[in-house]
Amino acid sequence: MRFKENPSLYRVKNRDIDCIAGGGFSGWEGEWGEESLHQFVVPEINIDDEVLDLCCGEGRATVPLAMMGAKITLIDRDEKALGYAQEGYRESGLGKRLTRAVSTDVMDFMTGTTKKYDVVVAQYAVTHMRKSTGLDFISKLPGLLKDSGGYIVVNAPSVFSWLYETLREYGTKIEKETYEEYCSCSGEVKLEPHPFYNPGEIVTILRQHGGEILFSKDVEVSSGNYNRQVIAKLQK
């Protein structure tokens, strides 16, 4: 659901979040985050909450959190996409909410950081990881939250996608439920791993770390392609 198409969806905490008309994000055609994120996370944001957006791409998903007063850290290995995100924050007047933008591999970042956050968003972080790497990545997300706990948002390609069936028949399998396909997400067209997740896999990991599952559903992101979206609340 696009931000401009249903502004009433974002009226939370008695505060209207209006479209950033003329701002850096207003001409972009992508989604303004996922509806589930707005339903379960946006209403809980407090001023100066710290949000980590892993594999942020062009930064759209966490914009509404910034508009509620959160401080945003963006991580992506694609310098071009990260540049678009920074430009969008500046031009939309949200520049002061963007505290850090780092071009690096997310696994390297997670290994080296000691900072903790109130919300960790990994909308498409596992899309081009091998399945074993992605499962390890998801298991490390709770460790990025503050001692008081917080929210984790994860999207992952679903086994119910038509692409899964196509790659099972015609693709090159490189690991369990992971296939190679040509992709330009890294800024150049090349073969990348593409994993698929079964219902419950992400849920099981987050529950093992004490997560309360607020949302878990396969959502169609393009014709016949589905992402498993999971939102968990952790209290420590």
Q: Is 170 among the domain residues?
A: no
The strand ranges marked E within the chain are 50-54, 71-75, 98-102, 119-122, 150-157, 172-175, 178-183, 190-195, 211-222, 225-234
Identify the CATH number of the domain in which residue 52 sits.
3.40.50.150
According to the model, what pLDDT value does residue 7 have? 45
N-terminal to C-terminal alpha carbon distance within the chain: 33
Residue 33 domain-assigned (yes or no): yes
- Each residue of 19-55: pLDDT tens digit? 443 345 544 444 445 678 888 998 899 999 999 999 9
pTM value surpassing 0.85 = yes
pLDDT tens-digit profile of 142-195? Answer: 999 999 999 999 999 999 999 999 999 999 999 999 999 888 776 678 899 999
Helix (H, G, I), strand (E, B) or coil at 72: strand
Domain of residue 86, residue span: 3-157+197-234
Span 107-124, pLDDT tens digits: 999 999 999 999 999 988
Mean pLDDT of the chain: 85
If one counts the domains in the chain, the total is 1
Cα(113)–Cα(101) distance, rounded to whole angstroms? 14
